[in-house]
Amino acid sequence: MTDAFVIGRIGVDLTPEAPRTSLADATRFVRAIGGFAGNIGIGLARLGISTAVISSIGDDGHGDHVRQELATEGIDVGSLLTRPGSRTQVAFFEAWPPEHFPVTFYRPDPPPDTQLAMADVPLAALEVAPIAIFSGTLLAAEPARSTTLEMLNARSAARPRRGTSWTILDLDWRPTLWADPGAYPALIDAAAQLSDVLIGSDSEFAAAGLRPGEAITAGRALTVLKHGPGGVTLLADGSRRSLPGIAVEVVCGLGAGDALTAAFAAGLLAGLDPIRALERGNAAGAIVASRLMCSAAMPIPDEIDKLLTTSPIRPKEIRL
């Protein structure tokens, strides 16, 4: 049985071999799996979670590389489809630590992930999986938009059959990937109403027009608010519990949020109290921020354990 499905865009990341090198000056690049589903899928797999990815790639060498590398990580690629005539997403990013990490996307129309249809989805398995993690970017275009909302509705309807399980919606706000960014708030709110956990940064909640404190009263069980180097906050059961960021030497902040989502989800799957699961997510994010590439930087459990031992943190709780 698949424990976790990750549904979202996937592709490859290319970055200059040395940080603080512009794309204009770079002559050598490092390649790794990238995109929401690639990063979180590998993050989960390295934590020992049986993981499947639902997404699409182009019929090109980059797509072949994605499929091979995911399979090497032990990820089920049965629902990773190759779209004839399309090209795999390529993202070039620069690393200018500690805070500047510009990304340039190459996504020729139609991007493969936007073509997701219900016929591509292993619905019976998705409905009963303990964890399903959705990217908000899937709502940017049809048919993936309608497919995503249908998948969320199906999991919501199947909740009594699943018992303890989590539907996680990551806001994943990438305005350059939307033809009409103004459609984002209404669509993400509709998706959020069908989710158990809402994850996003301060700026992503602002872009969505959502107030994190109100997300709980709207029926979501947990809200995770990411503050970058400032740490992370869990909103649940009328309380606000915050964890400070763990001090590391930042190499590249990209991928840290995906690492947090993966480790947090793995903790929930293991039955940890949500704040303990978030402690592990916070540590995973710090580890990835201290490394260059996103998916290749995802930690294993021993690395998270070691960081939490050497850099103990305690949540600060505020009743709402």
- Tell me the domains of the chain and their CATH numbers: 38-54+116-319 (3.40.1190.20)
Query: What is residue 319's predicted lDDT score, i.e. its pLDDT?
Result: 47
Of 29-33, 85-89, 207-211, 299-303, which range is least confident?
207-211
The per-residue pLDDT for 161 is 65
Q: In what order do the strands lie in the sheet with 232-236?
A: 80-83, 51-58, 4-7, 131-135, 166-170, 197-201, 222-226, 232-236, 239-243, 316-319
Q: What torsion, rounded to 10 degrees, do the Cα atoms 94, 287, 281, 320 define?
A: -80
Separation of CA 195 from chain center? 15
**Residue 318 scores a pLDDT above 60:** no
**Is the predicted pLDDT of residue 281 greater than 60, yes or no?**
yes
Q: Is residue 223 classed as helix, strand or coil in its secondary structure?
A: strand
C-alpha–C-alpha distance, residues 71 and 253, integer Å: 26
Q: Residues 242, 224: contact at Cβ < 8 Å?
A: no
pLDDT digits (tens, 9 = 90+) for 185-235: 999 999 999 999 999 999 999 999 988 877 655 555 899 999 998 999 999
Query: Which range (141-150, 187-196, 278-287, 311-320) has the least confidence?
Result: 311-320
